[in-house]
Amino acid sequence: MVAGSRIHRCRVIHRIAVRPSSGKRQAAAAAGLVNRLRGARIRDVARRGKYLLLEMDRGCVAMHFRLDGQLLWFDTRQTRGQVDVAFELDKGTLGFTDRRHFGRVLWLRRPEDLPGIAALGVDPLASEFTAARLLEILTGSSRPLKQLLLDQTKVAGLGNIYSSEALWRAKLHPERAANRVDAPTARRLHAAIVRVLARALECCSDPAPDFRDPEWWFQGLEKMLRVYGREGKPCRRCSAHIRRVKQGGRSSFFCPRCQS
Ligand SMILES: [Zn+2]
């Protein structure tokens, strides 16, 4: 929809959305984004890990949505509601919004100029992500499985929800040391990760996203959750009560009976 479009004007409404993690100040970053995008054409849209990239005829825009960031589409140049950054295109306006202000919009000469992108590990939806590759990653670490799966430099794109769901599906305890996984178990975890992501894509597109509705959210995601957010509720496989444990500041949900 936006590939091939020219950005007539970029407006930074809430500067915090363009704040770089280090170096340049917000004001300079906002001015840089606005100036560089004036008249630039979006060649393509791509994803790297959790980053969405607008690949421009010169440079690129990297967006990270964190917990609540989202994109909205407006048919005119007028935007409604809380939009942090507005990209005025040929046929309407693409708005980036994040009411919690954790999400970011950054201009980069090349995607790899952002350390978070340069260091990304294997993409679990790419053909390079095989059971053998996963085993190699697991064997190299004694960290708990859940924390290893969240490490974007190992497997890029898995977050707290999908890693919890994948471990439940593979019947693996989130605190189990990664290097205590053998080849057949790694195959099971590999299949679980791929399945969970495929199911997430299905669920998130049914109902279809409505990018014109600022209130719209991935309601469909609820349908796929087997363990995440279900503390105290019965496991859907064995009926034991789901437990929650904190790992590196994040909540992991697991079944104490069937995940080991
Ligand atoms: Zn269970």
Residues 53-81: pLDDT tens digits? 999 999 999 999 988 899 999 999 888 88
Q: How far is the CA of 249 from the centre of ligand 1 (A)?
A: 24
Q: How far is the CA of 259 from the centre of ligand 1 (A)?
A: 7
CA gyration radius for the chain?
Answer: 20
Q: How far is the CA of 28 from the centre of ligand 1 (A)?
A: 52
Structure tokens of 206? Answer: 């049914």
Straight-line distance from the first to the last Cα atom of the chain, in angstroms, rounded to the nearest whole number: 45
Q: How far is the CA of 253 from the centre of ligand 1 (A)?
A: 11
Q: How far is the CA of 174 from the centre of ligand 1 (A)?
A: 13
> Which one, of 198, 121, 196, 200, lies nearest residue 165 by Cα?
196
Q: How far is the CA of 161 from the centre of ligand 1 (A)?
A: 17
Q: How far is the CA of 168 from the centre of ligand 1 (A)?
A: 8
pLDDT, tens only, 100-120? 889 999 999 999 999 999 999
Q: How far is the CA of 151 from the centre of ligand 1 (A)?
A: 26
% residues pLDDT > 70 (the chain): 98
pLDDT, tens only, 135-191? 999 999 999 999 999 999 999 999 999 999 999 999 999 999 999 999 999 999 999
Sign of the four-CA dihedral 51, 52, 55, 56? negative
Q: How far is the CA of 169 from the centre of ligand 1 (A)?
A: 10
Q: How far is the CA of 229 from the centre of ligand 1 (A)?
A: 15
Q: What is the pTM of this model?
A: 0.89
Q: How far is the CA of 92 from the centre of ligand 1 (A)?
A: 49
Q: How far is CA 112 from CA 126, 150, 206, in A?
A: 18, 20, 33
Q: How far is the CA of 256 from the centre of ligand 1 (A)?
A: 7
- Residue 42 is predicted with a pLDDT of 97
**CA–CA separation, 145 and 50 (whole Å):** 20
Q: How far is the CA of 37 from the centre of ligand 1 (A)?
A: 51
**CA–CA separation, 58 and 239 (whole Å):** 55
> Which one, of 152, 149, 151, lies nearest residue 181 by Cα?
149
Q: How far is the CA of 255 from the centre of ligand 1 (A)?
A: 5
Structure tokens of 37? Answer: 């995008």
Q: How far is the CA of 209 from the centre of ligand 1 (A)?
A: 32
pLDDT, tens only, 212-245? 887 777 777 788 899 999 999 999 999 999 999 9
- 109, burial (CB in 10 Å: exposed 0-12, middle 13-18, buried 19+): exposed
**CA–CA separation, 202 and 220 (whole Å):** 8
Q: How far is the CA of 143 from the centre of ligand 1 (A)?
A: 23
Q: How far is the CA of 238 from the centre of ligand 1 (A)?
A: 4
The neighbouring-strand residues paired with 245 are: 252
**CA–CA separation, 28 and 204 (whole Å):** 36
Backbone φ and ψ for 162, nearest 5 degrees, come out as -70, -30
Q: How far is the CA of 257 from the centre of ligand 1 (A)?
A: 5
Give the CB-side neighbour count of residue 160, counting CA atoms within 13 A.
14
